[in-house]
Structure 1
Amino acid sequence: MKTKLFFVLIFTTFQLLVNGQGRYYKAQMHCHTTNSDGGYSPVDLVNKYKDKGYEIMFITDHNFLTDSVYVPGVLCIPSEEITFKRHMNGFFLSKNIMPDENFTCQQAIDSVIAQGGLIQLNHYFPGPFTDDNWEVGAPEIISFQNGPHMLEIWNTGTETVQTHDDKSIWDAVLTAGKVVWGSATDDFHPSVSEALEFNKGWNMIWLDTLTKEAVYNALLNGKFYASTGVEITEYQVNDYGTYKSINISSSNANKIKFWGPGHQVLQEVNGSSASFILQSHSYVRIELINEGILGMSNTYAWTQPVFLNNPLHMADNKNDIPYIQLYPNPNYGMATIDIKSRQAGNLKLDILTLEGKFITNVANEYIDKNNYQFLFDISPMPSGFYLLKVEFNDVSKTLIFEKI
């Protein structure tokens, strides 16, 4: 039987402005349990982080999907560290991803996006505690299609002495025009010393409400900052068309740096608050520092990049097909498809069985360079896995989703 789906077309604009109703929620996005090589059970680990003020947890065991942890007051989101030659975290997953010996970063990206998830490249830059196999340079990151969504710009597990701080690869990727957010994590096992590895790197996510969908959208759109101890108390970005004004304050920073294209320091301020006008550069990102003795005990916060011209495409600016996200996934009622198109063309969205048999059409129309959102009701469909086939001009791709 053909299922009737309902959809609504909504025009949206992407904003990096963090304001309005809501607050920051503390999140750990890289940690391990006894399901792989960690020292704590999932419940014990979540409770340990809860005691330090965490309200969002992504347990990322090696090639193991931890999806059933229930601790009151903490939102646990099913995740996995996809472990092959490189390591990449898949967030918002519904099925375990098992890489083979020839697995690649692009396959990891494709596998996570097919489930409607988000993906992060872990501990990728050279350092004293980084395995050579994990290193990924800017040219390779730029070449990836549709991701990653995030780079792990701080990994406590490979930053044990907390002196190696290199964001040049991130800036090289941003300078090339690829939009990718930066995160800070513990990568907690512990491996050496619990005191050195626990609660040392986290992300503060701005949310109106603590739900899985809200966290997904905030991470997708860069509405969070990474921290190793510095707190941002005020952050405002005002868009005046030809330029943007930025104001930022911290409760404990004593230096603020504004970084731009080519890994340049565009402005440096000694103090806990600063302002900046973004007009002559393609982007700026902000680093807030609490300087310790000889730099050995510095703590930081890093905002996401603010772009002079808001990017519509959140992953790979060179890809011909629009950037697609389907959420929530899995789902039982109203599903959302976000389309971010960098060019005009003919868009067709079809729902298929896993075997590729046509079920129904969601959209078949001409779209401009813009953001679009389609809503459709999957509640009449039987439980199981389905494909969303996306055709744009002469390019196509498929995403997998689950009806529960």
Structure 2
Amino acid sequence: MKKTTFLENGQFYKGNIHCHTTCSDGKLSPDAIVKAYQDKGYDFLAITDHNVFSHYTCYNTDRFVMIQGVEGNLRAPADNHREYHFIVLPGPDGHWEAAEGEKFAHGERLEIPMLSDKASVQAYIDDLYRRGYMVMINHPFWSRIEYDEILGLNNLFAVEIFNYCSQILENMGESNVCYDALLRNGMKLWCTAVDDNHNDFPLDSAKCDSFGGFVQVKAEELSERAICNALASGSFYASMGPEIHDFYIEDGRFYFKCSPVQKIYANGDVRQIHCAVAEDAEHPLTEISGELRGNEKYLRIECYDFEGRKAWTNPIWLI
């Protein structure tokens, strides 16, 4: 039987689901941000200002879609170094329509509860979930949150494995170790790459925090409902640049195809399963396949292009 996270039908759409504007601590207006991402060829964007919910349907066209959302957080005591931040997006069909709590309105400011213990974090997530939203935990490395401070939290759908702003400005944007620790301990979460752009520097600056982390979502159509359904089901991959064309497991073997890259690593909950490395740029890699050991709980793949940019699949769960 073939196993994959990608929908059988549909196409890939490029988007950023973590973005800030002058409505919170970003330096560019919503108009300017939307135009910048449209000019870069993005298909969708979620403006997720800090604790200010947005629903910018005015920017929707037949070729570009806005996803409503917000970045919410808990307020930590002065002596607590942790930062629990969450991206909040509309949940998939069924969950969205059956929600018990009220939906947020455009421009509505979220309450910021006090962080006291893990139960307070769970209560915050649960409130959002009851309203019909799906919740992602942001930049664990930057937030100085250890994996066991996430382990056991319910009603999360994803973790940021790469946050471009945190990486380019502070070298704290990659959370592979935390993510794998969560997977190995049984949390079935997807992984995303995002910009988290605040645009303190011009768009043409080497320190610009836009356009460096994104998701490619395979959806049935370019609409908010289709994008959110695909995100919830894991029909996407995270990237800094490389393109992933396919990833599946069938009859005890895995198969992976991508744009030309230098390195491909297939890993799961056990140590290294398979790797491939191109000797030079004249002979890049575009695929890898191999036998499974048979005792893996999950398998996921990372690939690196010749500029060091990475792409990450979501895990395929085998148990």
Which band: TM-score by shorter chain?
Answer: 0.7 to 0.9
C-alpha change, 1:29 and 1:19, in structure 2 (3 Å) is closer
Matches for 1:149-168 after TM superposition, within 5 Å: 149-160=157-168, 165-168=174-177
**Residue 122 of structure 2 is aligned to residue 106 of structure 1:** yes
**Residue 126 of structure 2 is aligned to residue 121 of structure 1:** no
**Residue 47 of structure 2 is aligned to residue 59 of structure 1:** yes
Q: Deviations over 1:218-263 (max 9, x none)?
A: 111111000001111x3141444xx3x322122231110012115x
Q: SS of the counterpart of 2:20?
A: coil
Partner of residue 86, structure 2 = 88
Following TM superposition, by how much is the alpha carbon of 1:49 offset from its aligned partner in structure 2, in angstroms?
Answer: 0.5
Asked whether the 8 Å contact 1:33–1:40 carries over to 2, the reply is yes
Asked whether the 8 Å contact 1:19–1:236 carries over to 2, the reply is no
Instruction: Indicate the structure (1 or 2) with the bigger Cα radius of gyration.
Output: 1
Following TM superposition, by how much is the alpha carbon of 1:69 offset from its aligned partner in structure 2, in angstroms?
Answer: 4.0
Tell me how far apart the structure 1 counterparts of residues 266 and 223 of structure 2 sit (CA, whole Å): 32
Matches for 1:64-213 after TM superposition, within 5 Å: 64-71=52-59, 72=61, 73-84=63-74, 85=76, 86-92=84-90, 94-95=103-104, 96=108, 97-102=110-115, 104-125=120-141, 130=142, 134-146=143-155, 148-160=156-168, 165-192=174-201, 194=203, 195=205, 196-213=208-225
C-alpha change, 1:291 and 1:166, in structure 2 (3 Å) is farther
C-alpha change, 1:228 and 1:18, in structure 2 (3 Å) is same
C-alpha change, 1:250 and 1:15, in structure 2 (3 Å) is closer
Partner of residue 260, structure 2 = 252
The percent of aligned pairs where both chains have the same amino acid is 28
The structure that is strand-richer by fraction is 1
Letter of the structure 2 residue corresponding to residue 91 of structure 1: L
Tell me how far apart the structure 2 counterparts of residues 78 and 254 of structure 1 sit (CA, whole Å): 36
Matches for 1:27-38 after TM superposition, within 5 Å: 27-38=15-26
Asked whether the 8 Å contact 1:43–1:69 carries over to 2, the reply is no
Specify every segment of 5 or more residues in structure 2 that has no aligned partner in the other structure, as ranges.
Answer: 77-83, 92-102, 278-284
Matches for 1:209-228 after TM superposition, within 5 Å: 209-228=221-240
Following TM superposition, by how much is the alpha carbon of 1:141 offset from its aligned partner in structure 2, in angstroms?
Answer: 1.3
Q: SS of the counterpart of 2:19?
A: coil
Q: SS of the counterpart of 1:70?
A: helix
Residue 276 of structure 1: which of 271, 280, 290 is its match? 290
Aligned residue-pair number: 279
Letter of the structure 2 residue corresponding to residue 272 of structure 1: T
C-alpha change, 1:19 and 1:83, in structure 2 (3 Å) is closer
Tell me how far apart the structure 1 counterparts of residues 297 and 250 of structure 2 sit (CA, whole Å): 14
Partner of residue 37, structure 2 = 49
Partner of residue 97, structure 2 = none
Tell me how far apart the structure 1 counterparts of residues 154 and 50 of structure 2 sit (CA, whole Å): 24
- TM-score, normalised to structure 2, is 0.81
Specify every segment of 5 or more residues in structure 1 that has no aligned partner in the other structure, as ranges.
Answer: 1-13, 293-297, 310-404
The structure that is helix-richer by fraction is 2
CA RMSD of aligned residues (A): 2.3
Q: Deviations over 1:126-166 (max 9, x none)?
A: xxxx3xxx2222112112122x2110110011101696644
Partner of residue 289, structure 1 = 304
Asked whether the 8 Å contact 1:42–1:69 carries over to 2, the reply is no
Asked whether the 8 Å contact 2:5–2:233 carries over to 1, the reply is no
Partner of residue 350, structure 1 = none
Asked whether the 8 Å contact 1:82–1:108 carries over to 2, the reply is no
Letter of the structure 1 residue corresponding to residue 276 of structure 2: V
